[in-house]
């Protein structure tokens, strides 16, 4: 298997930092090396101004990434930061992929992911790789079953 490297921004809440390593390990086992530009405990953000954080830290990192991956746990639904990151990625035309965290079977998706996501996949390395690569635009529940029908995603003109 040929190893590929992908530049991503993993949108998540800080309480889920430990899950980022699990995502990277799962994808590594499927031949994908992830370079993650998200802000986490190993790449902290000490800024205090929300406007500065958005314009000088998050926006450049999301621009750099090829795909915005949303690590979906119960806390992401109401995170203003996660929803802002998704909306910004949509605004600049980035691919947006939701990944259900392993074991989180009963949580809801962030509204911005519902509105702008390209794909949402379960905890399956091959599915995540296909979604990041743009080879599938499936919407799955955490266990892999089809997600209920939803409105067509709006596109930038």
28-70 tens-digit pLDDT? 899 898 888 887 777 777 778 889 989 999 999 999 999 999 9
Residue 96 covered by a domain: yes
Q: Which residues constitute the domain of residue 71? A: 19-133
* pTM summary value: 0.89
Question: What's the CA angle centered on 60, arms 9 and 135, to 5 degrees?
Answer: 40
| Number of structural domains in the chain | 1
pLDDT tens column, 70-120: 999 999 999 999 999 999 999 999 999 999 998 877 789 999 999 999 999
Residue 68 covered by a domain: yes
CA-based torsion, 25, 107, 91, 42: positive or negative: negative
Instruction: Give me the CATH number covering residue 31.
Output: 3.40.50.450
Residue 113 covered by a domain: yes
Question: Does the pLDDT value for residue 157 go beyond 50?
Answer: no
Residue 150 covered by a domain: no
């Amino acid at each position: 298997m040929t190893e590929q490297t992908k530049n991503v921004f993993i949108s998540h809440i800080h309480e889920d930092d430990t899950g980022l390593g699990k995502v990277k390990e799962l994808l590594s086992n499927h031949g994908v090396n992830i370079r993650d530009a998200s802000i986490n405990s190993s790449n902290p953000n000490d800024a205090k101004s929300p406007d500065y954080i958005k314009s000088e830290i998050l926006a450049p990192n999301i621009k750099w990434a090829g795909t915005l991956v949303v690590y979906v746990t119960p806390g992401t639904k109401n995170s203003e930061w996660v929803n802002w990151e998704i909306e910004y990625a949509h605004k600049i035309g980035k691919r947006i992929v939701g990944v259900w965290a392993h074991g989180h079977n009963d949580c809801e998706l962030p509204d911005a992911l519902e509105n702008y996501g390209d794909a949402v996949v379960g905890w399956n390395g091959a599915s995540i790789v296909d979604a990041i690569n743009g080879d599938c635009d499936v919407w799955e529940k955490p266990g892999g079953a089809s997600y209920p029908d939803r409105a067509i995603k709006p596109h930038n003109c």
